[in-house]
Structure 1
């Protein structure tokens, strides 16, 4: 177990600010935020959560990240900074950078070596070695993402859905990252609630389950009961997430620049820019509440889609309270089977829901990984598809629908010239127009469509991935509209969901009749 940073705690008395100093092992720093509130039960709750003196184990006395250390060791001391935003100290930032950079560099060097061997006399053993390296690399990435959370875990969540393009070793290993980040202690959860809600949570909730029902890279979710008896889910932002995201994004940018200096410009900087903008929005839960309410209005009256309602009076920047829905994950095969759900029907409803969002509502959910898609079983095999987590959403411009219609019609006609024209119309551009990269991509796509059968989108993506990647390494994308970028990500996520459901689908033919039902 790695040593986590201890923290300094700023305390505030009734007559003004008074500072208390804790032990400083990791250089961490806590910034007080909001109104100072009492947390008199903090140490009792820490012991109840198993974080007493016996829980230190091999950490050499250091406390886990995010646990406030009280000066003087008073068993019933009052921490007056109930809410904290943890700033990572230099030692922790260095640890995260070394962990992330080391994982990326090790994986890259390994595959680079296998690529070199594949050209030489040892080509016969490369297949076995590659499978072994897949397992090792997947384990390395999984461990680093679990340890650090933040941006690396968000990237792992996306990769875990790509059963269509990644080796099975990655899917099996990274699938464990779905809502399985390291939980934060309930004492810290309670302190965030105190600061954001302006009072102790016991005065607002009849009960809060201490064990989280989900712990993700940015936040943790607890089940609770309101005083009026309604069952709700409370989403609480991690206190150190902002500082960790800044550190991790900086490390990833350095890693991208280093790899691109060897391989040539790959266009990863565009992806990082989009990721950073998305994460900034995700950190304001008030925006997420607005998006959830808008999505609920859009699907009002739809018998197949369910959006949990928001409890606005308890929603703040770092706290979001919504309806609790005990659904089944779309990829949970055992529970799907027991509930008698038809996988093909589930996928059909999912496809219809996204067609309505993109072409009907002009507003879509941008993060449909398995942790955000639930199925609520009904009677006689009926069900409702539930979307949760609206931190990533996107507006669609008015002219997008006709552009997609033109693209799909061109794809069905296998006309490379028309496909290229449609891609340009959607806003895709590369750095060197003279290289005609968009035209070459269109030719590869239409050629793959001629070879493709009814195996569906997963097969198509797998066939095109390496070919298009090679073209874009030579001439990377210079302009990708945000809605096009996010839709590409959504299609990849939905493709992975379809592959895990074991359903074959040809999205081009499935999409065409739906396009003319949109706005």
Structure 2
């Protein structure tokens, strides 16, 4: 017991001492210094407890590595550690909740214990008081809320890690949604992010197999963008513009005269969450149509446009019936977007083409181009969330089963060091794609509609367009351009023919066979 206590105190003291030196070295001057030090101390103590727990549980265990007993011990340690991190996120709030939500969206990449524990943060975020919200509005818009709005709902429609949204009515009667940033988030964000980076570096030194610097890099790059609501408004208008051919997409109108970096006033959009099966049933909305259309939107964003809404959790994607009985998808919360370079977008498109064609050599080539090296099989499995056996047979021909899903998760849990290494190797653009893919799969799972042949057809079509458009842009000879256009036309014609065949065999033929015989 004495040794354990010495380890605990030594680890905690060492981390606190290192933190204090690092803060001094970086000349930090937090606005709320006392609160800042309390937040740092909580984080340091939590990480120290987790480190000691892993050391005591795994290093001192008599169970052989790889045995069922060892896996049970490790799983229990994962769960205790995840619960400690969850409590830290809830107490420190702000950036901590944001990073926790990111962890909760990384199914198949992180231990299930962490992912499932952190998923709760998507529906549990702190609220600022009404007086704090009014103060932010007054500071940023220069008027009392009562002068701007005829009515302002005291209860928020929803609260997230960085802001909360209230319904309101403008003086002319227009119904709007007002997104207001939590007052202390901007002041605390730099301190929080640097604390996380420091702790991630310490963990990497203590446990070389756990390299989570990629998570800190992503948070440091993306959080400042998410804290700028004017950027969010611009993202909203851009995605509406580049996807205007999809008539079923709706994004809120932005009221620029009532928007700042911390306040975003936009059209109030009603609808049911995309994972609400009861709402869809009551409003006669086709689940298959919604998932198919959502897949088209994201295939276009990822493979063709290279501009991706990266936070499609159910609260940010609504569905509703239109006046002409059509179905609309309403995309909310445009703070987190990823812009892909042309080189990455094309390599990623060709990787997916290889995956869809069960082309092992193609998977190997384009995975290596994306930085995977000899871990090309692992990258392909992470991208598709399918087993290697399914990939080599063809995922469009091998429907996913509950057994395969569980197998992939169990397999991922045994490869945490390799996955961590791979996430540090691949281009940073890939990281938000993993999160986006997992959130979309979560929606499919909630709707009992996992990716099928139809969704793969949409992906194939967009991949073909992405590659051929690039070839056309880089070719000046009319003969080469003609060959590219002919090849693209033939390929798209084959895809359309296959799509018709699927429709006929699964819809028209079944309807014909179900007709009574006279």
Segment drifting more, 401-410 vs 286-295? 401-410
1:368 lines up with 2:368 in the alignment:
no
1:494 lines up with 2:436 in the alignment:
no
1:503 lines up with 2:446 in the alignment:
no
Paired position in structure 2 for 1:96: 39
Paired position in structure 1 for 2:266: 322
Paired position in structure 2 for 1:392: 336
2:100 and 2:121 in contact (8 A); partners too: yes
Q: Indicate which of 216, 221, 226 corresponds to 2:165.
A: 221
Give the superposition deviation at 1:303.
3.1
Deviation per residue, 1:451-491 (Å, 9 max, x gap): 87421795686366346643355677346143x33222211
2:273 and 2:315 in contact (8 A); partners too: yes
Structure 2 counterpart SS, 1:391: coil
1:151 and 1:245 in contact (8 A); partners too: yes
Paired position in structure 2 for 1:158: 102
Structure 2 counterpart SS, 1:147: helix
Segment drifting more, 453-462 vs 240-249? 453-462
CA distance in 1, matches of 2:208, 2:419: 10
Paired position in structure 2 for 1:409: 353
Deviation per residue, 1:216-254 (Å, 9 max, x gap): 111121111111211111111122112322222122122
Deviation per residue, 1:307-337 (Å, 9 max, x gap): 1111111111111111111222223455445
Give the root-mean-square deviation of aligned CA atoms: 3.6
Give the superposition deviation at 1:184.
0.8
Paired position in structure 2 for 1:252: 196
Give the superposition deviation at 1:103.
3.4
Paired position in structure 2 for 1:29: none
Judged with a 3 Å threshold, the aligned counterparts in structure 2 of structure 1 residues 414 and 111 are, in CA distance, closer, same or farther, namely farther
Structure 2 counterpart SS, 1:119: coil
2:229 and 2:335 in contact (8 A); partners too: yes
Give the superposition deviation at 1:383.
2.9
Q: Indicate which of 399, 423, 427 corresponds to 1:454.
A: 399
Structure 2 counterpart SS, 1:203: helix
CA distance in 1, matches of 2:123, 2:263: 17
Structure 2 counterpart SS, 1:516: helix
1:480 lines up with 2:422 in the alignment:
no
Q: Indicate which of 322, 334, 350 corresponds to 2:294.
A: 350
2:226 and 2:232 in contact (8 A); partners too: yes
Segment drifting more, 292-301 vs 409-418? 409-418
TM superposition score normalised by structure 1: 0.71
Greater per-residue strand proportion: 1
Paired position in structure 2 for 1:39: none
CA distance in 2, matches of 1:472, 1:124: 21
CA distance in 2, matches of 1:312, 1:249: 30
Segment drifting more, 191-200 vs 113-122? 113-122
Paired position in structure 2 for 1:55: none
Give the superposition deviation at 1:163.
5.4
Q: Indicate which of 463, 477, 487 corresponds to 1:515.
A: 463
Structure 1 counterpart SS, 2:299: helix
1:284 lines up with 2:246 in the alignment:
no
After superposition, where does 1:186-335 map in structure 2 within 5 Å?
A: 186-264=130-208, 266-300=210-244, 302-335=246-279
CA distance in 2, matches of 1:475, 1:398: 22
Paired position in structure 1 for 2:493: none
Deviation per residue, 1:18-39 (Å, 9 max, x gap): xxxxxxxxxxxxxxxxxxxxxx
Judged with a 3 Å threshold, the aligned counterparts in structure 2 of structure 1 residues 158 and 477 are, in CA distance, closer, same or farther, namely closer
1:283 and 1:318 in contact (8 A); partners too: yes
CA distance in 1, matches of 2:78, 2:277: 25
Give the superposition deviation at 1:424.
3.8
CA distance in 1, matches of 2:63, 2:334: 46
CA distance in 2, matches of 1:510, 1:386: 20
Deviation per residue, 1:35-54 (Å, 9 max, x gap): xxxxxxxxxxxxxxxxxxxx
1:308 and 1:324 in contact (8 A); partners too: yes
Judged with a 3 Å threshold, the aligned counterparts in structure 2 of structure 1 residues 242 and 143 are, in CA distance, closer, same or farther, namely same
Count of equivalent residues:
426
Deviation per residue, 1:416-471 (Å, 9 max, x gap): 44323213434x26xxxxxx544574697884423874217956863663466433
Q: Show structure 1 runs of 5+ residues with no match.
A: 1-85, 430-435
CA distance in 1, matches of 2:380, 2:329: 37
CA distance in 2, matches of 1:108, 1:336: 46
Judged with a 3 Å threshold, the aligned counterparts in structure 2 of structure 1 residues 375 and 516 are, in CA distance, closer, same or farther, namely same
Judged with a 3 Å threshold, the aligned counterparts in structure 2 of structure 1 residues 326 and 115 are, in CA distance, closer, same or farther, namely farther
TM superposition score normalised by structure 2: 0.71
Greater per-residue helix proportion: 2
Paired position in structure 2 for 1:73: none
Structure 2 counterpart SS, 1:264: coil
